[in-house]
Structure 1
Amino acid sequence: MDWLPISSTPGILAMLSGICAFFFWLERRTGWRLFRYLPPLIFIYLVPVVLSNTGVLPTSSPVYGQMKDLVLPMMLVLLLLKVNVGGAVRVLGRGVGVMLFGTLGVMVGAPIGYLLVKPWLEPNAWKAFGVLAGSWIGGTGNMAAVSEMIDASGTEFGLAVLADSTIYVIWLPILLGSKSIADRFSRFTGVDPERLAQMKAAADAEQIETHPPSTADLLSLLTIAFAAMWAANLIAAQLPVVEPYLDEGTWRILLITTIGIGLSFTPLSRIPGSHELGMALVYLFVARMGAIAEMESAATQALPFLCGATVWIFIHGAFCLLGAKLLKVDVHTAAIASAANIGGAASASVVASHHQESLVPASILMALMGYAIGNFAAYATAMLCWCVS
């Protein structure tokens, strides 16, 4: 076994990308119900943790730094390119407001949950709360971005992945089961009976035809991503460093996020394939975070962190209820709004298909809005946690 650990750049990349591909293939091939509750994400993180802690993969390598510098900004630009803020507002109307209430609940709940369990966590555990806020406001891409902005370790990222997957198992059945109280919820919020029909008509009007990406499309996407990275790097190098809030790396992520959102308002957003390519890079980055994590440190903090996250999620839920009441929104939209925050596009579409099939396109629009605000709001949340740490 002289070839272990796998230390060459091609070997490490082959292992990490192979792990990502394998678990998505396994999910599609087997259709196991296990993946409904434990998505491929958690295995894509945990397998590299095991491999690096048993000596198969190195825990440090120049390739990990190169992936951080290239993969992370590329995936952000590609994911944000598909954000359609105008379309989401036209389709969802006040439902966008409920999602923003849910986002506020995530921001308020994080420091509260952290304060409750802080005595049992390590000093830098506030970073894990910040990373999880990235996922619970936007999605996995935001989780990865915020981890870079606050310089979270692989261990802190692992705590966030663990809580994200565990709480999801608790929260998703609640969102699905809320359909059974639709009538009582409508009386509670005073929702307009015609609201669902109006949303369906607006969603139909937003539908556009898509086609598989061509070679020219993929080359265009790569050009856009590299050009945005280049511009962000040049500007970030000129901006002031404000410790501990804003260093060059943080500026770079905020700039790349702003550029990506700006490009989403241009015809470039219609190039197919950006979301799929961006998500592939997201999972590759998650595997990289697993490879640099320390298993022992994460294990000792797992239980208190999960307790804090459980309190946190119910604070988010209370804010969603408050938003639905104030804005007079139905339970279907409220559940989708929460799922768009907590689980991203995949979870939002699952909840939408269970509640009202016609709302699936609208749910994806809402989740994409989470991508747009996720880096800004989650970074602010991390700073709130730092303030109480």
Structure 2
Amino acid sequence: MITDGFLFISLLLAISAVLVVAGHSGKLKIFKYVPGFVFLYVVAALLNTVGLFDHDAIDGVGDGLQDALLPAMILLLLFKCDVRQIIRLGPKLLLTYVVTAVSIIIGFIVAYLILHSALAPEAWKGLGALNASWTGGSANMVAVQKILEAPEDIFGYVLIVDTVLYSFWLLLIFSSVTVSDKFNRWTKADTSKFDFAKRVGEESEKPMTLPSIIGLLGFSLFVSALATKAGEMLPELGTVVNATAWTILIVSVLGLVIGSTRWGRAAGSSQLATIMLYLIIGIIASGSDFTSLAEAPLYLVAGLIVLFVHIVIMLIYAKLTKTELFSIAVSSTANIGGIASAPVVAGAFNKQLVPVGVLFALIGAFSGTFLGLLAAQLMSVTG
């Protein structure tokens, strides 16, 4: 049994390193469909299930590290989010993105209303975290889990649902490319050339250096500490706006501001944030126990209900507003998939439109946490 906090964190980092190296080697195709941090969650949870971790001894270290890394990770992930580029998308595309996010929130509320009597009392917290992932990304998911203090077991269920249904959804979206013309004729969409086309990423990122890495690490952790102190001094509002929520809001706004300056192009911000994400998920997973998997299928059903509601609403929206399939597909993928898949889907429709996928995903990186908290708040009062 591990009773030493340093050994505990080192083990999680070592497992993460093995998974990242294996994923980037290209030899294991499974990493194309299942993110490495999902395997990390499964491994860490299995180790906890067999009794490897002494939580009385290590929880203080894990919780302290998670509290420090979460705001720093959110801050770094938003360095690439340039508000000026997002505005250039134009009102129609931005409206499509908003409707997509709203349809997902409605889907979660409908699913919770149908299933809440069969779910655990705190299931709304886990579903709120899943909503954050499906309107943002994995970082937003762990942020909401931390803010709401969703039970680790429930978080494990929704993480599995996230992975399974995301893979299914991505396959469905890619398949939709072949019916794009028929869909556009059905909606009577205007498929003329998009006019917002300023490319994202024309300036290539400079290579990572020791000054860039230590600068990002020092700055992000210092801001995390200051934002945490500030969050503790602000009042709690309702069920979901607590000190941690205030902290995340502070670093999110600051990250958005930095993303619109030259400092947002600092080399290594995404890589450093990814390392933090792995450690945070590992710490969360170390509190999960796989001996209670009876409820897991119910969360899968909840996810399927969300996707069904999302499809119905987006079809109605597309027909009423004469929206082309490209905008619907990329917006949906940016919400449910995130930065890794949205540009790929955009490129499948038209390689010139890859920046749209990037920008949609960046909107989610900022808004996903708050949309997840909103959905959680609504579910908590409707159940």
Normalising by structure 2, we get a TM-score of 0.93
1:39 aligns with one of 26, 35, 41? 35
Deviating more after overlay: 258-267 vs 95-104: 258-267
User: What is the letter of the counterpart of residue 23 of structure 2?
Assistant: E
Q: Give, in angstroms, the shift of residue 286 of structure 1.
A: 1.0
Aligned partner of 2:126 in structure 1 is: 128
Aligned partner of 1:141 in structure 2 is: 139
Aligned partner of 2:218 in structure 1 is: 223
Aligned partner of 1:156 in structure 2 is: 154
Whether contact under 8 Å (2:318, 2:324) holds in the other structure is: yes
Deviating more after overlay: 361-370 vs 244-253: 244-253
Identity percentage of aligned residues = 28
How large is the RMSD of aligned CA atoms in angstroms? Answer: 2.0
C-alpha separation between the residues in 2 aligned to 1:316 and 1:289?
29
C-alpha separation between the residues in 1 aligned to 2:220 and 2:109?
34
Whether contact under 8 Å (2:132, 2:141) holds in the other structure is: yes
User: What is the letter of the counterpart of residue 27 of structure 1?
Assistant: G
User: Structure 1 residues 100 and 58, CA, compared in 2 at 3 Å: closer, same or farther?
Assistant: farther
Q: Give, in angstroms, the shift of residue 6 of structure 1.
A: 2.4
Q: How big is each residue's C-alpha offset from its partner over 1:18-66, in whole Å with a ceiling of 9 and x where there is no partner? A: 2222222222324433233322232111110001111233345222111
User: What is the letter of the counterpart of residue 337 of structure 2?
Assistant: G
Paired residues, what number? 381
Q: Give, in angstroms, the shift of residue 356 of structure 1.
A: 2.4
Q: Secondary structure at the match of 2:333?
A: helix
C-alpha separation between the residues in 2 aligned to 1:251 and 1:213?
31
C-alpha separation between the residues in 2 aligned to 1:51 and 1:256?
33
C-alpha separation between the residues in 2 aligned to 1:243 and 1:59?
30
Deviating more after overlay: 18-27 vs 179-188: 18-27
Aligned partner of 1:342 in structure 2 is: 336
Q: Secondary structure at the match of 1:295?
A: coil
Q: Secondary structure at the match of 2:80?
A: coil
User: Structure 1 residues 208 and 325, CA, compared in 2 at 3 Å: closer, same or farther?
Assistant: farther
1:316-355 aligned at under 5 Å gives the runs 316-355=310-349
Whether contact under 8 Å (1:53, 1:59) holds in the other structure is: no
Q: Secondary structure at the match of 1:146?
A: helix
Deviating more after overlay: 304-313 vs 21-30: 21-30
Whether contact under 8 Å (1:95, 1:329) holds in the other structure is: no
Q: Give, in angstroms, the shift of residue 243 of structure 1.
A: 5.0
1:1-389 aligned at under 5 Å gives the runs 5-59=1-55, 61=58, 62-91=60-89, 94-196=92-194, 198=195, 201-203=197-199, 207-242=202-237, 244-297=239-292, 299-389=293-383
C-alpha separation between the residues in 2 aligned to 1:359 and 1:59?
49
Whether contact under 8 Å (1:138, 1:340) holds in the other structure is: yes
Q: Secondary structure at the match of 1:208?
A: coil
User: What is the letter of the counterpart of residue 180 of structure 1?
Assistant: T
User: What is the letter of the counterpart of residue 146 of structure 1?
Assistant: V
Mark the runs of 5 or more structure 1 residues left unpaired by the alignment: none
Q: Give, in angstroms, the shift of residue 10 of structure 1.
A: 2.5
C-alpha separation between the residues in 2 aligned to 1:342 and 1:352?
14
C-alpha separation between the residues in 2 aligned to 1:34 and 1:267?
37
Q: Secondary structure at the match of 1:123?
A: coil
C-alpha separation between the residues in 2 aligned to 1:55 and 1:323?
50
C-alpha separation between the residues in 2 aligned to 1:120 and 1:176?
34
C-alpha separation between the residues in 1 aligned to 2:238 and 2:89?
41
User: Structure 1 residues 30 and 215, CA, compared in 2 at 3 Å: closer, same or farther?
Assistant: closer
